[in-house]
Amino acid sequence: MNSFLRFAAVLVALCNWYALTIGGSPAILASYGWADLLALLLPTVLGLVAAELTIRRARKPLAGNFLDRYAAMAATVWIGGMLCGVVLAWGGVLHDQALGLVGTIGFGAVASLWGVICGGVLGIGEGLMLGLPLAVVLGWFGEKAGSVPTARGVFERVRTPRDG
């Protein structure tokens, strides 16, 4: 289940990164060198951070009923959107040679604000849509891992002899 969450978060982050930087012109991808491809590590890491936050902070909802799983997945995509928004917005600030260290930090705050707002709006929009299929798939994983639905609708793992 955790691996699926990490995989889904990284996939969503990479797809968004692709849409925002390459978009409808895959020819741009052909002009990418190794250094540019290394930039793909950024959305991967941000996706993993969002997934780890959810795994650590929302263990119960992830194993809960559909609505809980849906909310947790929507929140994960939302957090990922905010993180990616901040990093994208910092891109321009970091490249400005007219700013000193103080200016970079100062305008970094403004960039972060825009990143959180714009990334957050896109993230919650995507999260509310993608949360539905992701919550369904997450439910299948819960079942396949040996969980059974309880009377409260919560999946609980069945202890097997191999568990000791």
SS3 label, residue 20:
helix
Q: How far is the CB of 137 from other proteins (least distance, A)?
A: 18
- Rounded CA-CA distance 59/114 in Å is 30
Residues 117-136 that bind other proteins (CB under 8 A): 117, 120
Q: How far is the CB of 71 from other proteins (least distance, A)?
A: 4
- The answer to whether residue 159 forms part of the interface with other proteins (CB under 8 A) is no
Task: Dihedral sign for Cα 110, 112, 114, 117, please.
Answer: negative
- The answer to whether residue 21 forms part of the interface with other proteins (CB under 8 A) is yes
- Rounded CA-CA distance 15/31 in Å is 19
Could you tell me which residues are beta bridge partners of residue 155?
A: 149
Angle, helices 41-57 vs 2-21, to 10°: value is 140
Which residue, 28 or 158, is less far from other proteins as judged by CB?
A: 28
Which residue, 71 or 137, is less far from other proteins as judged by CB?
A: 71
- The answer to whether residue 153 forms part of the interface with other proteins (CB under 8 A) is no
The token pair at 142 is 């819960």
- Rounded CA-CA distance 76/138 in Å is 13
- Rounded CA-CA distance 133/14 in Å is 18
Residues 56-75 that bind other proteins (CB under 8 A): 57-58, 61, 67-68, 71-72, 74-75
Single out the residue of 1, 5, 112, 138 in contact with other proteins (rule: CB under 8 A): 112
Summarize as ranges the residues that interact with other proteins (CB under 8 A): 19-25, 28, 30-31, 54, 57-58, 61, 67-68, 71-72, 74-75, 78-79, 82, 88-89, 91-93, 95-99, 103, 106-107, 109-117, 120
